[in-house]
Every structure is written in structure tokens, then in C-alpha cells.
Amino acid sequence: MQLAKATKRNPRELAAALVEALNAQPAVQQWVDALEIAGPGFINLRLKPAAKQAVVAEVLAAGSGFGLQPANGHKLMVEFVSANPTGPLHVGHGRQGALGDSICRLFESQGWAVSREFYYNDAGVQIGTLAASTQARLKGLKPGDAAWPESAYNGDYIADIAADFLAGKTVHADDRAFTASGNPDDLDSIRQFAVAYLRHEQDLDLQAFGVQFQNYFLESSLYADGKVDDAVARLTAAGKTYESDGALWLKSTDYG
């Protein structure tokens, strides 16, 4: 129907021409039982039983390799789950894990070289809150106490982190390890230990779910490498930022 409009031809006449051309094709003669014009110009195609049976035979012969394609030279990086290391994974993260891994497997089956990446937001306000929450637990406070920070994380897992920190334990997260100092006043050690602890817990959950990653990227590395400061400096020098309410802002409204 759309082709008829583009070619300015009667839809049924165009359909008849297409049916005639298709019927001349050997593959159509072998696998198609009938090509029929219906309504204002639709073409209905009815396959022969042998066509369906042939596909079944191919599936059975190929087994788990059915549909797989050879390497095509294309590369793809898929970043998924990427939960903040501030608490245990939840059902929503599980959904993203299943979706992301399925996308990776689909592209891999079609010959793409796929790299799976987990981006950790291990910097910023939420990580400061995690460290402060753990420190409060280390000092004997608990949710509901008058001195308990209003913005603190209240989950029992914070108490577990605090207990292991006091014990000076070492936690492993993918290719990294961190040993707690055990000092309740060492906020930087608390922060690093808490992040590593939760990353380890998340890794275990994902592995149990059958989801694995080739690369773990830490947001904190952007600050350590000076890339964030460099980007901000370049944007400021280009006149793309402004100051307001004691903060530096990007002039995003200049772009719509």
C-alpha cells in the first residue's frame, strides 16, 4: 500500500505485478503454497508445510548453535545494572541485570564482540552519607537515637559493615581489596571499606544470578585522574558555565 502511493500506481495492480514477479522466483516456487491479493492491495502469503518442517530440521541439526553468526568485526560495550554501592541490590537491579545480559548475549550471537561494564557511582553525596552512616554505627548510634544523622542509611547492613570494619577485615571487590583500619575516626578508611564491602556483596549477588562483567569503572577514578577538574576548567574557559547560589552550573539552557 505504501509503495503504491510512492509509485502513484493502483494498489491492486501493483500487488498483481509483485505477485507475478515473486511467483517466478525458484525459492517462492519451492516453499510458498500460495500468494493471494486481498482487499485494496494486501498480499497474503501461505507457506507449504515443507517450509516449516525444513526450519525445524535446521533447528534440531544446529542445536544450541542455531542462529549463531560468525564474528563480524564489530565491537559493542554495554553498561548495565551500575547500582550505587550504598546498599544491597534490589529487584529493579535484577531486572536490569537480566535485560542487559540478554542484550549482550543477543549481539554476541550475531557475531559482535561485546564487553560488559559496571559503572560504580562511588563518589559524591551518597557515598559521603554511606561513610557517615557507618561511622555513626561505629560510635554506638542507631536509627532512632537523637544523635542519629537525619539523612543516614538505616538498614541493618550498615551495622554489618561497621562490625567488620572494627574487626579490621579485608574485603575483595573484583580486582581490588581493602583492609579496614578499625579506627572509628578514620572517615576515609570507613568510606573506602564500606564501598568495597557493598561492591563485594553486589558482585556475589550478580554472580549467583549468572551475570558477569569484563570491566568495572569507578566514578572516583575520574576525580583521581583529574579528568573532572579538567573538564570543568575547559567548560568554564569556554564560557559554558555560570555561578549561582554558591555553585557552578552548566549553561545547558543555551542548547534548548
Domains of the chain: 2-64 (no CATH), 68-223 (3.40.50.620)
3-state secondary structure of 180: coil
Gap between the Cα atoms of 162 and 218, Å rounded: 23
Q: Which pLDDT score, from 0 to 100, does residue 7 have?
A: 87
What pLDDT does residue 29 have?
A: 93
Rg (CA), the chain: 30
Residues of the chain scoring pLDDT < 70: none
pLDDT of residue 103: 98
pLDDT at residue number 113: 98
CB 82: neighbour CB atoms within 10 A?
A: 17
pLDDT for res 4:
82
Q: Using alpha carbons, list the distances in angstroms from residue 140 to 134, 143, 162, 189, 253.
A: 10, 10, 10, 18, 47
